[in-house]
Every structure is written in C-alpha cells, then in structure tokens.
Amino acid sequence: MPDEPAAAPEQTPEPGAEPARTDPRPPLARPAAQGAAPIELVDDTCPRCGATLAHDAVLCVKCGYDLKANVVREPGVGVVEVDPAGEKPKAAPRAGEFVVPGRGGPQVLATAGVFLTLGALTFSGVNAQAGGAWVTAGTVALTLYNIALHTCTGVAAVAVAARLAEQAFGRFELAAARMFLAVALFHLVVSLRIPIHPGLAVALKWAAAMGVYYLALWLLFKKDRAGAAVIALAHFVLWVLLQLGAELSAWVAAAGKAAA
C-alpha cells in the first residue's frame, strides 16, 4: 500500500493562551464599554405641606410654596369667556368715538335723504296750491330751508351729545348724512295731509313725526334709548332757540312798523 499522508501533529497550546476557536460562525463584536449607570434621583418633599415634589420642581402645586423665592404664591382666579360656536369676534368700533360706522354709508344715507326731501317738498307744495303759485313756491322753499337748517342744528346736537358722553365726535360726514335722513323723514311726515279736523291733524302729524324722528336716531346712530334721547333733546333745545330768535325778530319788525 502506498504511504498515507502523515497527520498534522497536534499543537499544544501555550500556557496562558486562549484556546483556538472551533466554531465556524464569525465572532461577535463585543459591546463598547459603557459608562456607569446614572444616579437615580429621589423625589423631594415640600417643606411646607410635605407633598411629594419632583426633583426639578420649583413650586408646590398643592400649597403654592415657591421653593426658590421662599414665599407662598396665591393663585389668581379669573373667568375666560370662550365662544362655543367658534365664531370670530366682531370688530369693535374705535374706542372713544360717538359716531361709529354702521347702518349704511354716508352716500347711501344721503341718497335716501334726498328722496325723502323730494317727497316732503312735493307734499308741502300740493298742500299750498290753494294759496296760489307764489305761496306754493314759498312753502316749498321754506320746507327746503328748514330741512337744511335743522340738519345743521342736528349735527350740532350730535356734538353736544358726544360732549356729554365724554367721547370724540367721530366721522362728521356720517353724522351729517344720518341727521339729514332723520330730518327729511320728519318733514315728510309733517307735510302729509290727514283728512280730519285741522287741529287734530296737526297734533297727530307732529306726534307721529317726532316719533319717527326719534326712531330714526335710535336706529341710525346705534345708541340706546337714553343716548338717542340726549341727541333728540339737544336738537329740540337748538330748534327752540332758533324759533325764539325768529319770533323775536318778527316782533321787533312789527313793533317798528307800528311805531313809524
């Protein structure tokens, strides 16, 4: 028989050396050395009430003791209103102004006042036809003059009301347009003809005209009843002063003619 290959001689491990690995799987990498485990902090207690606190707490939620300031904090109590419907809050008017936007712009209100003025002029002219052309023309002109005059005194009344309310006047053109509409509406009602006793008709027309005028002030200026009443009262006082001046002027003129 041919000679068989000689077996490899067994190597004896040296003393202190690790034995050779016979596992065919690759060796696993050893995890890197990690630092020592962190120290677990024990929760503290409140020195005032003894409640358990976290180690980083600065305030005791039970008694309100401030650990840093060494004082007791009193919690503030308040009420926060939340809109359940989630609607956006409406834009509030500018603070401190008496005449604020709303209820139509100046152009719209002035246009409505022009149509009401034309109606008042028409009715006053129709009612004065019995006196002739000159009387009709004079009545129409007088109605137009009164609307213009009392619109101006109405704006002055708004200024007086704003002063009493300790507020700034606001938008002048808006106040003038609103007052023009209210005055034109007043004279339109006064110019109507009611087929009843003349004295009763006059009283009824003036009462209705004043009621409509006050309602117009209330709605247009967006004030409460007292605020609208202050404007109306100031306007009435100015109207009385003008009427007294006109009556006094007429009396002086008549007295002068009589003396001559």
Taking 70 as the threshold, does the pLDDT of residue 28 lie above it?
no
Structural domain includes residue 167: yes
Highest mean pLDDT: which of 7-16, 33-42, 55-64, 228-237?
A: 228-237
Last residue of a domain, one of 74, 90, 121: 74
Structural domain includes residue 224: yes
Contacts of residue 214, defined as CB under 8 A and 6 or more positions apart, other chains included, come to 228, 229, 232
Structural domain includes residue 216: yes
Higher pLDDT, 229 or 104: 229
Rounded to a whole number, what is the largest CA-CA distance in the chain?
Answer: 181
Which pLDDT does position 41 carry in this prediction?
Answer: 43
Quote the percentage of the chain above a pLDDT of 70: 75
b/e map 186-206, b = 16+ CB within 10 Å: bbbbbbbeeeeeeeeeeeebe
Taking 60 as the threshold, does the pLDDT of residue 59 lie above it?
yes
Task: Identify whether residues 135 and 243 lie together within a single domain.
Answer: yes
Taking 70 as the threshold, does the pLDDT of residue 5 lie above it?
no
Task: Identify whether residues 50 and 146 lie together within a single domain.
Answer: no
Q: The domain containing residue 216 runs over which residues?
A: 101-259
Whose CA is closest to 234, among 150, 167, 110? Answer: 150
Task: Identify whether residues 52 and 132 lie together within a single domain.
Answer: no
Task: Identify whether residues 119 and 227 lie together within a single domain.
Answer: yes
Q: How many domains does the chain have?
A: 2
pTM reported for the whole predicted model: 0.60
Q: With beta carbons less than 8 A apart as the criterion, state whether 144 and 117 touch.
A: yes
Higher pLDDT, 246 or 80: 246
Which pLDDT does position 36 carry in this prediction?
Answer: 46
Task: Identify whether residues 236 and 148 lie together within a single domain.
Answer: yes
Which pLDDT does position 85 carry in this prediction?
Answer: 57
What does the chain come to in residues?
260
Task: Identify whether residues 57 and 110 lie together within a single domain.
Answer: no
Task: Identify whether residues 69 and 107 lie together within a single domain.
Answer: no
Using 50, 70 and 90 to split pLDDT, how confident is the model at 84? low
Highest mean pLDDT: which of 31-40, 97-106, 140-149?
A: 140-149
Structural domain includes residue 38: no
The Cα–Cα gap between 174 and 221 comes to 9
Structural domain includes residue 31: no
Over residues 92-143, the pLDDT tens digits come to 444 578 998 887 899 999 999 999 999 999 999 998 888 888 999 999 999 9
Using 50, 70 and 90 to split pLDDT, how confident is the model at 52? confident
Mean pLDDT of 200-223: 91
> Helix/strand/coil (H, E, C) string of the chain?
CCCCCCCCCCCCCCCCCCCCCCCCCCCCCCCCCCCCCCCCCCCEECCCCCCEECCCCCECCCCCEECCCCEECCCCCCCCCCCCCCCCCCCCCCCCEEECCCCCCHHHHHHHHHHHHHHHHHHHHHHCHHHCHHHHHHHHHHHHHHHHHHHHHHHHHHHHHHHHCCCEEECHHHHHHHHHHHHHHHHHHHCCCCCCCHHHHHHHHHHHHHHHHHHHHHHHCCCCHHHHHHHHHHHHHHHHHHHHHHHHHHHHHHHHHHHC
Which pLDDT does position 81 carry in this prediction?
Answer: 54
Which pLDDT does position 43 carry in this prediction?
Answer: 59
Which pLDDT does position 258 carry in this prediction?
Answer: 83
* Single-letter code of the amino acid located at 134: W
Q: With beta carbons less than 8 A apart as the criterion, state whether 150 and 160 touch.
A: no
Supply the Cα-derived Rg of the chain in whole angstroms: 47
Mean pLDDT of 168-188: 94
Structural domain includes residue 142: yes
